[in-house]
Amino acid sequence: MAEEKLPNWLKNRAHLSPDRPAIEFEGQTYSFLELHTLTEKMARRLASAGLMAGDSCAVLLRNHIDGVVAIHALFYLGVKIVMLNNKLTAKELSWQIEDSGASYLLSEGSFASKLDDMAGNLPELPLLLIEQLPNGGTAEILQEFYLEDTATIMYTSGTTGNPKGVIQSFGNHWWSAVGSVLNLGLHEGDTWYCAVPIFHISGLSILMKSVIYGMKVVLAERFDEREANRAIQENGVTIISVVTTMLNRMVHDLKEASYPDDFRCMLLGGGPAPIHLLEACKEKKIPVYQSYGMTETSSQIVTLAPEYSMTKIGSAGKPLFPSQLRIEQDGKASGPGEAGEIVVSGPNVTKGYFNRLDATQQAISDGWLYTGDLGYLDEDGFLYVLDRRSDLIISGGENVYPAEIENVLGKHPDVFEAGVTGTEDEKWGQVPLAFVVLHQGAELSESDLLDYCRQSLASYKIPRSVIFCKSLPRNGASKLLRRELKKGMEEWQ
């Protein structure tokens, strides 16, 4: 099995189930055969532009059928894809492109102004615009994918220093899809709604599942809670991937309505979710599957199995079948209830960071990835994610977990969402600071909110102050960026 290979995924799927719907975008549905035909055509155009097997190509794309086709076409050609986050600045993008050693940049007209901004910083590499690719030509299409081969590289910021390119092999994507199907099951009419970015592992993993499972995806260019709710209520969507803020907005938009019985999975990732939100979902009978994962694990690696979604509320669950998990503190495995670093392994886990031997060796030891996240296992082996280790606040020697305080703030009826981070304090080392977004029209004073906190939290966990704001900083995957909260504050003060 040293050179395990599988027939080219989309091409194989188009052979096995040509007529099944593959993807719906802006009201138009493409079968797997149609998607394959578009992909072959795109592959020929990219080959005519010079792309060849073994090349590496950075892509700056929207959630759009053209982007999906471009990604598959690059796989067809055996070209490694450097997935760029289209929310980054021109400077950040240029840095990543240079770091990745990509020899092409593939983008589209809608990014014209950003591409202009990048022009000065960019290394000398050809820029290809989808709309301007040459027509026709021939291309050699990969008949098989080797699981060891690199499929994609995605940059993550980590906590310090420059971003690092996470290497994701075809095998990583494959095993991620297989681990997920063994947990979530697979029904004949399954349709997965993708409003998370396809340049991020949350979105890309849905595209991979689509071709591996033979499953329909409804792709949205951007997230809109009304659109998402409508898709579930009227368009046969059975599964959707969301992060907390998306779920929050969907639940508010849903009001007294509910989802049809066929809707079977609200897959929630992107960090610990506030308990009050999970409880609201429980009341509305929304089948939330809390999950935990990251770019390095090629999407979810821990997910709450169906039978526990209502009894282990707040837990991220147990590892997917092919993966393993332990909690470690000071090099020793932690016992039940003891917090420590989350350490994971499995065939969906990256083999390392591109061109970063040091970072790879620091993060991965004997196949186990040290995630830098904090959590604990309960008596039954369920994972509870506390926080990203970098977000931990240490106040007077006590560990203070931002998520715990956010949970309390979020329960206040006037609060839409909250973020907490630490700030320097002469006496305590660090103290918590709260950033709060209120519901539209709501009014609430800082002192009232702090009084509210005092009902549930020990005094050392009470935020030193509350900063009311219009939105919280989030990354391309809508994950809360706690370290950016402070940055905002510094700018405002």
Pairing label, strands 288-294, 265-269: parallel
Q: What is the DSSP letter of 142?
A: P
19 phi/psi in degrees, rounded to 5: -95, -10
Shortest spacing between CB 114 and a copy of itself, in angstroms: 37
Tokens of 131: 């709309």
Place of tokens 């499929």: 151
Q: Which is nearer to a copy of itself, 87 or 351 (CB)?
A: 351
**279 to each of 79, 241, 244, 253, 409, how far by Cα in Å?**
45, 18, 13, 16, 15
Q: Segment 320-359, which members bind a copy of itself (CB under 8 A)?
A: 321-322, 324, 347
Residues binding a copy of itself: number (CB under 8 A): 35
343-369: string of b/e by CB count within 10 Å (b at 16+)?
A: bbbbbbbbbbbbebeebbeebbeeebb
Q: Is 214 in the site for a copy of itself (CB under 8 A)?
A: yes
Sequence-distant (≥ 6) Cβ neighbours of residue 294 within 8 angstroms? 156, 201, 301, 371, 373
Cα gap 265→237, rounded to integer Å: 10
Q: Segment 356-415, which members bind a copy of itself (CB under 8 A)?
A: 381
**Residue from 49, 65, 125, 305 in contact with a copy of itself (CB under 8 A):** 305
Q: Is 78 in the site for a copy of itself (CB under 8 A)?
A: no
Instruction: Compute the C-alpha angle 70/352/329, nearest 5°.
Output: 135
Cα gap 198→212, rounded to integer Å: 16
Q: Is 182 in the site for a copy of itself (CB under 8 A)?
A: yes
Shortest spacing between CB 342 and a copy of itself, in angstroms: 17
Q: Which is nearer to a copy of itself, 39 or 85 (CB)?
A: 39
**Residue from 137, 306, 314, 372 in contact with a copy of itself (CB under 8 A):** 306
Q: Is 188 in the site for a copy of itself (CB under 8 A)?
A: yes
Say if residues 286 and 251 touch (Cβ distance below 8 Å).
yes
Give the binding range for a copy of itself (CB under 8 A) out of 174-182, 418-426, 437-445, 472-480.
Answer: 174-182
Q: Which is nearer to a copy of itself, 20 or 439 (CB)?
A: 20
Q: Is 36 in the site for a copy of itself (CB under 8 A)?
A: no
Residues making contact with a copy of itself (CB under 8 A): 1-2, 4, 6-7, 12-13, 15-17, 19-20, 147-148, 171, 178, 181-182, 185-188, 212-214, 305-307, 318-319, 321-322, 324, 347, 381
